[in-house]
Amino acid sequence: GQPAMTAVSLRDVRKNFGPTEIIRGVTLEIAQGERHCIIGPNGAGKTTLFNLISGRFPITSGEILLNGSRIDAMPPHMINRAGLSRSFQITSIFPRLSVFENLRCALLWSKGYKYSFWSALWRQKALNDAAQALLEDLTRGSRRDVPGGFLSYAEQRAMKIGMTIAGGASVILLDEPTAGMSHSETDYAMALIR
Would you say the pTM of this structure is higher than 0.85?
no
Does the structure show a pLDDT above 80 at 16?
yes
Report pLDDT for 165.
Answer: 74
Higher pLDDT, 9 or 110: 9
pLDDT band at 138; cut points 50, 70, 90: confident
Query: Which 8-state DSSP code applies to residue 98?
Result: B
10 Å Cβ neighbour count for 186? 15
Residue type, 135: L
147, β-bridge pairs: 98
pLDDT digits (tens, 9 = 90+) for 172-184: 998 888 888 889 8
Mean pLDDT (whole number) for 146-168: 82
- Give me the mean pLDDT over the 158-179 stretch: 82
Q: Does the structure show a pLDDT above 60 at 113?
A: no
Give the model's confidence band at 112: pLDDT under 50 very low, under 70 low, under 90 confident, else very high.
low
More confident residue, 22 or 164: 22
Does the structure show a pLDDT above 80 at 133? yes
pLDDT digit string (tens) for 64-85? 999 999 999 999 989 988 999 8
Burial zone of 191 (CB within 10 Å; 0-12 exposed, 13-18 middle, 19+ buried): exposed
pLDDT band for 21, please (50, 70, 90 cuts): very high
Q: Which residues are within 8 A (CB) of 5 and not within 5 positions of it... i.e. 6 or more apart?
A: 31, 32, 67, 68
Q: Tens digit of pLDDT for each residue in 94-104?
A: 899 999 988 88
- Residue 88 confidence (pLDDT) above 80: no
Least confidently predicted of 26-30, 50-54, 133-137, 160-164: 160-164
Element (H, E) at 12: strand 6-17
